[in-house]
Structure 1
Amino acid sequence: MKYSILIILVVLSFGAISAHEGGHGTPSKQWELTTNEIIQADFIKYENGEVWLMDSNHTIQTFQITDFVEADQKYIKTKSEFIHSLNGSEPIKVAPQSVSSFNWALIGLGIILLSFSIFKLIKQKKAVYLTHGVLGLGVILIVSCKNTNSAKTSTTQAPSSNVSLMQTFFEKFDGVTTHSDENYLYISSNGLPDHDMMVGIKNWQQQVPIKQNYTGDNSWAIPTHPKMAENPLSTKTNLLKGAIAVAVNGIPIFNPLNNRGEDANAIGELDNWGGHCGRADDYHYHLPPLHLQDQVGAGNPVAYAVDGFPVYGETTDTLDEYLGKTNADGSYEYHAIKEYPYLIAGMRGEVILDPKTEAPENQVSPQPRTQELRPALRPLRGAEIVEFKTLGENSYALTYSLDSEEYIINYKWDSEDNYSYQFINPDGTSTVETYKPREK
């Protein structure tokens, strides 16, 4: 009787610990198609928009990812990223697994049963002890199987960036320099591109572009060992402040939404190059700077996101919900599209957020400081910028049209950072203002 009770307890333990997900020899997942058809099959791979599955007859079937419902599409992309990471140069980091006290007790019970049975079987040759031994061995195997299959991934390490290659893209542009340490590539510039600016803006807050001191410890920092984030940040509800990427010409790229959550391009705030000035008169893009492809060459990145991943131009490849794709080596890259959100719909890599900011107006840290100069001004309703000229070294002229008349702002600065602004009215009268930058 006492042996029967012991056997029942062990069998009940089997039920508790063997109810793990999946089985052996049958497909492990049900897939739902947009036609409401259900398929039982194993995932094989996802490539170029095609999903490969294998059914119970070991027949390979292929589908377009758009054939699946949204939840399964997300599962496919996550699974594919995991597989690519396994095949990349850096392995998936698996959180160490521990065996619970209960499981250790079960393993101990199994060992006792196995040892006791072997001893009694030799001495008394009773079949009941053979049964106990089988049960003991079963406990040990099942608990071990459970702990082996319960491992979960914690962080996906993408391949490290080729820093030397990254530097060649940035250093194609005059005035842009780089240096690196073991964690970051640093990009230094004066914040002014080598193309014209501001022309085409129809919703203007009266800023004009001036130089910024993005140098030394105030340079832009791009991680060179990027990691895939477990919970990517949507740029629709995050990062409305600060840059989300740095163009290869040293100009920061901000969220396509302004700090009021509006599409800056759709409301006329941007110039013909996808940029404008912020309140510190700091020039930056809100659109992917595809015009830079002429200088970096087709197939090369036009920017790097602040999570470390490159940003490329448009592509015919299938992109994920973050406007990126995972490559065969486990690396990740963003691409541009013509409509909102234009680029980086979500920060796919891990980033550190500035603790002094809150969503949606949060920002990635570190961010260089800008220099405040003139007071922030209000939008000049009805004004359109029609011309921007370089008059000489550190000297510019901006012309805007208002009520069918043209106004000119001539401005310049000297080697000691003394700024002078001349505001010329249509009738020829003018006023002059002078400023000295102050650090934030």
Structure 2
Amino acid sequence: MKNTLLIIVFLLLNTPLFSHEGGHGIPLKQWELTTTNEIIQADFINYENGEVWLMDSNHTIQSFQITDFVEADQKYIKTKSEFIHSLNGSETIKVAPQSVSSFNWALIALGIFLLSFSVFKLIKQKKAVYLTHGVLGLGVILIVSCKNTNSAKTSTVQVPANDVSLMQTFFEKFDGVTTHSDDNYLYVSSNGLPDHDMMVGITNWQQQVPINQNYTGDNSWAIPTHPKMAENPLSTKTNLLKGAIAVAVNGIPIFNPLNNRGEDANAIGELDNWGGHCGRADDYHYHLPPLHLQDQVGAGNPVAYAVDGFPVYGKTTDKLDEYLGKMNLHGSYQYHTIDEYPYFIAGMRGEVKLDPKTEAPENQVSPQPRTQELRPALRPLRGAEIIDFESLGDNAYSLTYSLDSKEYIINYKWDSDDNYSYEFINPDGTSSFETYKPREK
């Protein structure tokens, strides 16, 4: 009995070491307003230019002037704001999960010993005092384990759902782009062809030309409408070299700035004057954020949405985090663009589901629309430069490239039955023809 009392005293003296900090849920902070003498409960979101944003338990965001708060709350706001700005700066503060300390390991060992000893003695002598030892031992194990399990969890910021109606207004500014939604995604449908010129400026060309794609119905682009901050964001330097990482507001997918060989596609001349080119399926896509769309969507509006659900904006003078993004005034997250690699989305800040059939670095986000190769994939045509591209009418285009100071032309078109025809015109005027029809799925 004497030993039992000693153990109880020991546990009581060390209660602060074992208890959950703040219990199993962290309450909202209380704020005292000087203007109304009101006490409100809310989370701090942002402070900028004298204005403070708070979010209550219903996820409603309210704004106040900092002078509306008592002096202690004003000091808290400024300190918290400086901390958040440090997170959005070039040096990101990372909090490592706490590991089980040596002291706690000793306590766990003590608990295991007491539990084992009591079980053995109960079997041998059936004395109640050993049952007490066993309960104490089990208690030590559970308390210490609970403490460390709780402290090892990484806290993630809860962000509000996207405004689907607002997102639709950005996409539907562009002819041929349509949207629909369900409980989880906004679906973006298009034919995969932008309304601007393409291909001109490419000096590292794999002889692909842009054709229409069936990004419709179940094969549309899917953008999460309830984004979540990822505990372990995926670096786009070592992940997602396959498939799109964002969708431009004109319905054109945006791939990783690195090609599937891990090369900066822009730096090696693979991209046109609009930051895009064609893949093996003659599918046109960007590898850079399409800042040229800013004029059409309006200043201060996104030019794309990442496949984690967060918007992509143009350049900013604000400090960005290591993923080239920042928290915004709505309590959510947004990416921005810079002039050099990685250009945008240095890491996928939101949660994404990966296609289990792919592996890093050539893994891709799922769901991902399908494309289908029409012509056999060709090799890069060394020394060629695309110098002109024009529309010849509905579903008809002409591409001109220069090679060894001579000009070559490819005229191509397709009909409503998906019959594709190509004419290859040589510098001497001779030509050859090829026809294709997509293979049955």
- Provide the C-alpha distance between the structure 2 equivalents of 1:69 and 1:213, rounded to a whole number of angstroms: 41
- Provide the C-alpha distance between the structure 2 equivalents of 1:21 and 1:71, rounded to a whole number of angstroms: 34
Match of 2:227 in 1: 226
Change over 3 Å in CA distance of 1:69–1:349 after alignment to 2? closer
Task: Quote the offset at 1:22 in angstroms.
Answer: 11
Where 1:169 maps in the other structure, the secondary structure is: helix
Given candidates 9, 12, 15, the residue that maps to 1:11 is 9
Task: Quote the offset at 1:8 in angstroms.
Answer: 2.2
Task: Quote the offset at 1:217 in angstroms.
Answer: 0.5
- Provide the C-alpha distance between the structure 2 equivalents of 1:404 and 1:378, rounded to a whole number of angstroms: 20
- Provide the C-alpha distance between the structure 2 equivalents of 1:363 and 1:290, rounded to a whole number of angstroms: 24
Task: Quote the offset at 1:316 in angstroms.
Answer: 0.8
TM-score (normalizing by structure 2): 0.72
- Provide the C-alpha distance between the structure 1 equivalents of 2:91 and 2:399, rounded to a whole number of angstroms: 49
Counterpart residue type for residue 388 of structure 1: F
- Provide the C-alpha distance between the structure 1 equivalents of 2:418 and 2:369, rounded to a whole number of angstroms: 19
Where 1:205 maps in the other structure, the secondary structure is: coil
1:187 aligns with 2:188: yes
Given candidates 71, 89, 92, the residue that maps to 1:74 is 92
Task: Quote the offset at 1:10 in angstroms.
Answer: 1.8
Q: Is the 8 A contact 1:276 1:283 kept in 2?
A: yes
Counterpart residue type for residue 93 of structure 2: Y
Task: Quote the offset at 1:271 in angstroms.
Answer: 0.2
- Counterpart mapping for 1:89-238 below 5 A: 150=150, 152=153, 156-238=157-239
Counterpart residue type for residue 319 of structure 2: T
- Provide the C-alpha distance between the structure 1 equivalents of 2:375 and 2:438, rounded to a whole number of angstroms: 8
- Provide the C-alpha distance between the structure 1 equivalents of 2:284 and 2:386, rounded to a whole number of angstroms: 15
- Provide the C-alpha distance between the structure 1 equivalents of 2:80 and 2:325, rounded to a whole number of angstroms: 22
Match of 2:104 in 1: none
Q: Please say which of residues 146-155 and 230-239 is displaced more in the overlay.
A: 146-155
TM-score (normalizing by structure 1): 0.73
Q: Is the 8 A contact 2:88 2:319 kept in 1?
A: no
Counterpart residue type for residue 197 of structure 1: M
Counterpart residue type for residue 293 of structure 1: Q
Task: Quote the offset at 1:326 in angstroms.
Answer: 1.2
- Provide the C-alpha distance between the structure 2 equivalents of 1:385 and 1:361, rounded to a whole number of angstroms: 28
Where 2:93 maps in the other structure, the secondary structure is: helix
Change over 3 Å in CA distance of 1:58–1:162 after alignment to 2? closer
Match of 1:301 in 2: 302
Counterpart residue type for residue 195 of structure 2: D
- Provide the C-alpha distance between the structure 2 equivalents of 1:298 and 1:70, rounded to a whole number of angstroms: 22
Q: Is the 8 A contact 1:157 1:226 kept in 2?
A: no
Q: Please say which of residues 11-20 and 424-433 is displaced more in the overlay.
A: 11-20
Identity %: 73
Q: Is the 8 A contact 2:89 2:321 kept in 1?
A: no
Where 1:18 maps in the other structure, the secondary structure is: helix
Change over 3 Å in CA distance of 1:64–1:228 after alignment to 2? closer
Say what the alpha-carbon RMSD is for the aligned residues: 3.7
Task: Quote the offset at 1:352 in angstroms.
Answer: 0.6
Task: Quote the offset at 1:63 in angstroms.
Answer: 10
Change over 3 Å in CA distance of 1:255–1:67 after alignment to 2? closer
- Provide the C-alpha distance between the structure 2 equivalents of 1:158 and 1:173, rounded to a whole number of angstroms: 28
Where 2:200 maps in the other structure, the secondary structure is: coil
- Provide the C-alpha distance between the structure 1 equivalents of 2:318 and 2:255, rounded to a whole number of angstroms: 25
Task: Quote the offset at 1:411 in angstroms.
Answer: 0.3
Task: Quote the offset at 1:303 in angstroms.
Answer: 0.3
Change over 3 Å in CA distance of 1:301–1:62 after alignment to 2? closer
Give the count of matched residue pairs. Answer: 356
Q: Is the 8 A contact 1:156 1:229 kept in 2?
A: no
Q: Is the 8 A contact 2:88 2:320 kept in 1?
A: no
- Provide the C-alpha distance between the structure 2 equivalents of 1:63 and 1:179, rounded to a whole number of angstroms: 38
Counterpart residue type for residue 377 of structure 1: L
Q: Is the 8 A contact 1:66 1:73 kept in 2?
A: no
- Provide the C-alpha distance between the structure 2 equivalents of 1:428 and 1:189, rounded to a whole number of angstroms: 36
1:289 aligns with 2:290: yes
